[in-house]
Amino acid sequence: MSADCLFCKIAAKKIPSKIVYEDDEVFAFEDIGPQAPTHILICPRKHLDSLNEAGSEDQAVLGKLQLVAAELARKRRWAIRLPFAFASSRRARVSLAPGLNSH
């Protein structure tokens, strides 16, 4: 956990959020400032600033991010026509918060 990471604080329940999925490795919550009609962020509980920091030991949790995204989409009956999940980090222009997450 990183003391200054927004996602780590949400995972530790120090910042309120609407959690829509959680287990020991991954959690997902609704974005408070959605960039789409529905915008859910899916994060690993292990802090990673970006994919550059991920190693082979993170392979399973990175794959799980995608599987959780698919599960959430199925449960909500979202039609998936294009890739709907991508890895993001503060270094990417589309993300305003530090920490690895999937949308």
pLDDT in tens, 61-74: 999 998 898 888 88
Structural domain count of the chain: 1
Q: What CATH number corresponds to the domain at position 26?
A: 3.30.428.10
Query: Domain of 83?
Result: 6-96
Assess if residue 81 is contained within a domain. Answer: yes
Assess if residue 103 is contained within a domain. Answer: no
Residue with tokens 């530090």: 98
CA separation (Å) from 46 to 5, 50, 80, 90? 11, 12, 28, 16
Predicted model pTM:
0.76
30 pairs with which residues across the strands? Answer: 40
Assess if residue 83 is contained within a domain. Answer: yes
* 30: Cα within 13 Å, side-chain hemisphere: 7
Residue 9 pLDDT grade (very low, low, confident, very high; cuts 50, 70, 90): very high
Assess if residue 1 is contained within a domain. Answer: no
